[in-house]
Structure 1
Amino acid sequence: MRSLFLKIFLYFLLIILLVATAVVILTHFRDQEFPPLAQQSFARQAIAEYGREAIQVYEQDGIEGLDEFSKILLSESGIRLLLFDQDSQPLTRKRVPRRMQHMAHRAMHSGEVVFPKMGARNGLASIVHGPSGKTYFVAISLPERPAAQNLVKGVTHGFLGWRLLILLAITAVVCYFLARSLTAPIGRLRRATRKFADGDLSTRIGNQIKGNNELAGLAHDFDEMAGKIEALVGAQKNLLRDISHELRSPLARLGIALELARQQESSAAQNKALARIELEAERMNIMIGQLLSLTRLESGVNAVPLQKFDLQELLSNLVEDANYEAETRRCRVVYNAPEVAIYTGSEELLAQALENVIRNAVKYTDDNTIVSVDLIGAAECWTIQVADHGSGVPEESLAKLFEPFYRVAVARDRQTGGTGIGLAIAERAIRLHSGTITAKNRSQGGLLIEITLPIET
């Protein structure tokens, strides 16, 4: 059971139902054994009034007179009366109900007024002394309630199943609102943390969770933490952006100085040094451009300019450009795709992301090998697979490939001119399109980068 709401709801419901069921059952059986006070009082009055009169009739007219008296009493008032001698033997020729016989026996042994233990609640048996001083036991059964009164009584006392069903419904409603009141703030906090984790650093809970309890305190702490993290990340991004902009100016001046130096006569060694300086300056310029792109993608502005374009044509142009670079190492980029692949998104961002992935594969594939680029269509997404035939990547480094400035081998990256930013840019651009990008080693050697782009972004 993974839902906290469901756990709390069922636990509260079970506990309340157990307690309430026990109370209802005990009350039910207590009411069965002990009649209500109004019935007890009426039964006592009936025995006091009719009991002595029945004894007087019996002592004067015998059993026949007593039976006639009982018959008239039953027809006129609905009260059934039976007289027992001091040994609790019935003084009648008619059939004696077992319930009334048992009450007479109990009254004889206890010497007290007794009521039925179970079942009907409208009977009573008691000791009564006649005019002659003899001891008798009188048992009576009161008339049943009218139909309407029985109906009300049945709903409230008689039908235990209905009482439990009504109790279950009321308890379920109470437990639902109780569990909802406890878990709703947790749900709001979870949605806020999920939104914050997805990159929206401006997420705050604010007044969504009110009160002075622990959850309200946790929401306040979350807002305070989110504010500090947003400020730190913002300061870091601003620093990167400012440094990148500031470096552009001296690089431009360095380029101008290199052109002026080349216009003057210089030795071969000087020309070689100038070429090296120009290469390093160009690399630094490229890195600064990538830093600015990465900062823009991580700025928190998730709005992607949407436009329809042919993804197949975009990849075809990128593969054609990559082949020029691959020819210097006698490599080739092979492209497999359907004729048309219409996609809605930012063509500029995806071009930059896909170019970084393809050029990365060309850099690290072995000489005289093939880099394959496959575009696969499906009902819900487009899948792009870029595979090289290089040495692959250590398994522990696969998850870090898309982190900024991460490089598996520093010496190799410097040799190929890598800075560890290209794949990070690709990951941010793909994520802005609600897509995914993953890396894994191929069984036949090399690295496979797989990109999925949902058709509905």
Structure 2
Amino acid sequence: MKPLSIKKKVLLFILAVIVIVAASALALTYYLYQQLYIDKQIESLSLQGKKLAEVYHTHGKDTYFADRIKWANESSQANIIFTDDPMELSSGIPFDTNTNDNLITFKERQKLLQGKTVVLIREHPQFHQDILGIAIPVFKNKNDLSGVIFLSMPLSDVYEPFVQIRLTLGLSILSILLLIFFIGYKSSNQVVRTINKMKEIAIEMESGDFSKRMAVTKKGDELHQLSRSFNKLSSTLEKVEQQRREFLANVSHELRTPLSYMKGYAEGIEEGVIDQKKGMQMIQDEATRLSRLVHDLLDLAQLEGDSYPLTTEPIVFAQLIHDVLDQVEFIASQKGITLKRTLQEDCIIYGDSDRLQQVVRNLLDNAIHYTPSGKSISIELNVQQNVAELRVTDEGNGIPEEDLPHVSERFYRVNKARTRKDGGSGLGLAIVYQIIKKHHGTFDIQSEPGVGTIATIRLPMQHSMKI
């Protein structure tokens, strides 16, 4: 069996709502008519009859009582009679002396003899129309029934005032139902159009085209939010696909270069055009470069995953920085660069010592690489509000403002020429960013072309930090 489309499901739901509302409206009108309006009329007739019964008990069947019966007939919609022979009611008298049909039944007459009020709704034997009647017994003494006051009115008179109410209510409900159907139909069409458009774009996305977007016209409703979310998803996937292509291109470029050099020098040594010692040194350098690149790629892939474990231990952060500075100090001195240390020695943090050494080493390598000879690099460590802040400031050429948001992306280099002289694979700062993120810290770079660059990392010092 073919499943129903969303549009058909929505329309069926709307029709079901209409049926339920219509049935509820009919039940409501019946309740209002039967339980409220008719009961109100019965209460009114009973009260009127009891007052006449009180007059009878006081004055008996005299002229005053007869006048009250006459006045009650003239001033109300009910037909009121008094008979001192209840048998007349059971035989249809005094309405029609020729009828053989009973107005009240034998059981109802027995109730009158017992002093009980009788309420009846039935067809009148003479007029052939439904009537509402109230029969109230009156007694001369406790056990002697002397007569019956009978108040009646056609049900059409009871129903007539309610017809306009039911008609008005029915038209109102019909208008509301039509409005619901119209709005539901339009809304279902809009929903279906939106979903169909998403389906078309999804098919394009399956083929690798993430450029299509949903048209967003209205604001505030769920379809608007859904379209925006879908567009955001498409944009994210397009960005991921672009990064994937760039990543493959960058990896192939970075791997091809050292492999080409290694192959070239190996062929040169074999043919005798390159000194063997010099050639082997170049091959070894390129192999080291290739090994470092592969190691960085593996590091980054692990750090970007959610399951990579970090060892948490208390670390004297200043001592860790001193150790890394001692390692790079010889390289900096060879280039004529001065390293200035200002470290808060009692700074204790919790984290992975090896990974944090890698962070400091990458920041210092970058600063040394891009700082000209004769300049200096400042390394400052401070504690502010239970946060350790490490700041590495160089006096290099700086980074253009448009490049700053991208420097922590994989393979991103400010110098797009990617010359071997510039060095680096473009992974160092990406690794720094991921390690600091794993430690729930922040990594920030500020730079001004021609002045220098400030790289700042901030790490929480709480022992309860989850890594």
Q: TM-score if structure 2 supplies the norm length?
A: 0.46
Q: TM-score if structure 1 supplies the norm length?
A: 0.47
